[in-house]
A = this chain, B = another copy of it.
């Protein structure tokens, strides 16, 4: 009998060329997991991720699924996978799910966290997991502007300059929450949405950094959204600061 298996994954994106890419001989997260699946089940198994994470982007709760006819118990699969995966990937959970479950199409919401180390010296312990931003940031202003992102909007202005996707696909998404919190010198920007355009979080973060620096007037984010022009938003923040925290179904 065909079974549908869902994985919850943590990984350090530093050593990967993203979740999955077309080119061969590049180390990818999905590629490493598919190699482990092949070792365990002695078959080529295609892994479906909730979406691709870019090179350098991390995950604390990425989700994926695959089909198998193996009778192996989920917990046994989890142990076998962790034993066959490298140190920078861990399978946190293995669950058997309904046949209709699809890691990408069944997504209800995703939460990303972007981490900024707001000081003028690099952070050796966090250097793979944050953006070091040396200029003062006005958090109150950032929080105020970020409110304009919440809700159902066309996020075309925050899409990658050269999206590789279908040009006709909708760029409307619903952002459920933007949380901006400070802990010591670290600032976390958490964004939950029903889906994200390519580089959307990093473009939003780049724009919020300009807001925090006082380089954009009040009402800018609302206006950038309305004008649907990528050229108006800020730079794309570096991938190292980004972590896919949670995928909900």
* A binding-site residues for B, Cβ under 8 Å: 10-12, 58, 60, 78, 82, 87-92, 121-125, 127, 129, 243
Min CB distance A84 to B, Å, is: 13
Write out the residue numbers on chain B whose beta carbons fall within 8 Å of the beta carbon of A125: 10-12, 58, 60, 129, 243
Min CB distance A66 to B, Å, is: 19
Specify which of A121, A124, A127 lies most central, judged by the most chain B CB atoms within 10 Å of its CB: A124
Write out the residue numbers on chain B whose beta carbons fall within 8 Å of the beta carbon of A78: 121
Name which residue of chain B comes closest to A127, CB basis.
Answer: B87
Min CB distance A7 to B, Å, is: 12
Whether the Cβ atoms of A87 and B124 lie closer than 8 Å is: yes
Whether the Cβ atoms of A90 and B11 lie closer than 8 Å is: no
Bound CA–CA A12/B123 (angstroms): 9
| 22 A-B residue pairings within 8 Å (CB atoms) | A10-B123, A10-B124, A10-B125, A11-B125, A12-B124, A12-B125, A12-B127, A58-B125, A60-B125, A78-B121, A82-B121, A82-B122, A87-B122, A87-B124, A87-B127, A88-B127, A89-B124, A90-B122, A90-B123, A90-B124, A92-B121, A125-B129
Write out the residue numbers on chain B whose beta carbons fall within 8 Å of the beta carbon of A90: 121-124
Bound CA–CA A11/B125 (angstroms): 6
Write out the residue numbers on chain B whose beta carbons fall within 8 Å of the beta carbon of A12: 124-125, 127
